[in-house]
Amino acid sequence: MARAFFRLLVYVFIFYLVYLVIRIFRAATKPRNTPPPQVQGVMVKDEICNTYVPKEAALREVFKGEEHFFCSEECRHKFHEKLRAR
């Protein structure tokens, strides 16, 4: 009886050691929390929804010699509707 109990304790201890090794290994391979990359460059304002987007990612429209920037195709479409209504 004492032998069986001792054997059980040894198995539990070995299982615990294996658990710790796996946990340490997973923590070492888990990606670190890194901040999102900062946007570099000029930000432009979408005239329709008043959001700012990076100039290189914005949709660009030239109308009567003026540049207009949009965050999405939907805002560009609203801009054209607004011009037609005039």
Handedness of CA 68, 72, 73, 74 (dihedral sign): negative
CATH class of 43-85: mainly beta
Query: pLDDT digits over 16-38, tens only?
Result: 999 999 998 888 787 778 787 77
- Compute and round to an integer the Cα radius of gyration of the chain: 31
Query: pLDDT digits over 44-84, tens only?
Result: 999 999 999 999 899 999 988 999 999 999 999 999 998 88
User: How does DSSP classify residue 72?
Assistant: S
Residue type (1 letter), 18:
V
Domains of the chain, by residue range, sit at 43-85
